[in-house]
Structure 1
Amino acid sequence: MSAEPTETHDVPWAMQLVVYRDRGRLAREVDVAEAAARAVVMLLGDERSAPGGPWHEAVRTWRDVQIRKLVRRADGKRWEDVQALPGVTVAQKAPTTAADEHGTAAVRAFVPAPVQPLPKQLHKLQVSGTQFPAVGASATQNAVVTVEVAPGLGISSGKLAAQCGHAAQLAWEAMPETVRERWRVDDYRVRVEFPSREEWGGVQRPVTVTDAGLTELDGPTDTTRAWWVEPA
């Protein structure tokens, strides 16, 4: 299942994601990736995105065209400023063992829109070079959905967040309604894992994201995949 169908609009559409960056206590990369995945699905599952809701047409257009996601970073007043734009914010604390050194991961997902023109609060934010410490494994336990990252990608934390958001979205769209409801009740928690090459090649998953290779990657590349726990 690919995340990037052929684009047909003159101006591309995207879901913008903004990651909070506390320069003094950077969040862990894995926590940022999980928060981003949760924010994407939380926006999709929001009642405002449902038929009749104020976000529905924008979400529908974006899903029909290309589920592109762009990750930006903000701190201080710029982070506060973007909270006024339509979207949802997810905050995820670092595990207790890392809390002294690493801060809370926070990501806001915005209602999809054309990439030009952007609101000034988003336009001024940096896209490239978003990097967080790649230390430690996920602390999320018993999540309904697990996102696995292909080994050896060498991508930035921002790109990783976008790819995990793609995988979570495709899982949300593909899973049975009973699983989706269970995930909603669990606040769309996601566990992000980094399997070895042997583990990645040794099993199939219901959802795989193939990135088109427009940024950071050289050509179409399988980047992430997702699976979920079926009800007992």
Structure 2
Amino acid sequence: MTSEPSEDRDVPWAMQLVVHRDRANPAREVDVAEAAASAVVKLLADERSAPGGPWHEAVRTWRNVQIRKLVRRADGKRWDDVQSLPGVTVVRASTDDDAAAAVRAFVPAPVRPLPKELHKLQVSGTQFPEGGGSRNEDAVVTVEVAPGLGISSGKLAAQCGHAAQLAWEAMPRDVRERWRADDYRVRVVFPTAPEWIAVERPVTVTDAGLTELDGPTETTRAWWG
């Protein structure tokens, strides 16, 4: 079931994202961030989120309040359990060298009460190994991450999800169609400080600084080609 939209602004709304974590063979951080960004957009673009769909009112209410995203982690049975809750899962296939990255985005809802399958999952301290760049060289959308943030992999996934969402909302219809045909793949890159300050992008994300960051901070940008 999806949560009924509520006008109670005392309870924040959020889109919950759950990242699959294999303790023995974890995915790379960049792959997790890209899967999270794709999952957010795939949920928003899903016909169930469109007017008349069963998710539309929940998505509309959330977007009107704040596009907050919370990232949790799950493995084993806990990952299997959350698949029954309304949402969209994105899996980016493994390679000979790297494990698969999997993220499920859930229909936005108040942050409490949560279904027990989500409530018991850890939020803070979600970390995946760094190393290597994106393999999505020809993706329609690129998200770049501000240098020197020092944030967790979970926070990074949320920020990339914000940037991808804003890109999807801002881009022309024909680009949306190309992105849909490409299965909403996202390329996440990490520019140097000189590269970051040298250019402007059509989409920029400033985090409010409620968690991990000390005050409002520009975290990510996005553009499409």
TM range (shorter): over 0.9
Which of 168, 172, 175 is the equivalent residue of 1:172?
A: 168
**1:16 alignment counterpart:** 16
Separation in structure 2 between the aligned mates of residue 157 and residue 196 of structure 1, nearest angstrom: 19
Which blocks of at least 5 consecutive residues in structure 1 are unaligned? 1-7
**1:3 alignment counterpart:** none
Cα deviations by residue, 1:169-227 (Å, 9 ceiling, x for unpaired): 00000001110111001100000000000000000000000000000000000000000
1:51 aligns with 2:47: no
Cα deviations by residue, 1:123-162 (Å, 9 ceiling, x for unpaired): 0000000000011000112110000000000000000000
**1:196 alignment counterpart:** 192
Separation in structure 2 between the aligned mates of residue 79 and residue 135 of structure 1, nearest angstrom: 25
Which of 199, 202, 206 is the equivalent residue of 1:206?
A: 202
Instruction: Give, in angstroms, the shift of residue 47 of structure 1.
Output: 0.2
**Secondary structure at 2:194's aligned position in 1?**
helix
**2:61 alignment counterpart:** 61
**2:103 alignment counterpart:** 107
TM-score by length of 2: 0.96
Instruction: Give, in angstroms, the shift of residue 93 of structure 1.
Output: 2.2
**1:132 alignment counterpart:** 128
Matched-pair identity in %:
81
Separation in structure 1 between the aligned mates of residue 137 and residue 167 of structure 2, nearest angstrom: 18
1:92 aligns with 2:92: yes
Over aligned residue pairs, what C-alpha RMSD do you find? 0.9
TM-score by length of 1: 0.93
- The alignment covers a number of residue pairs equal to 218
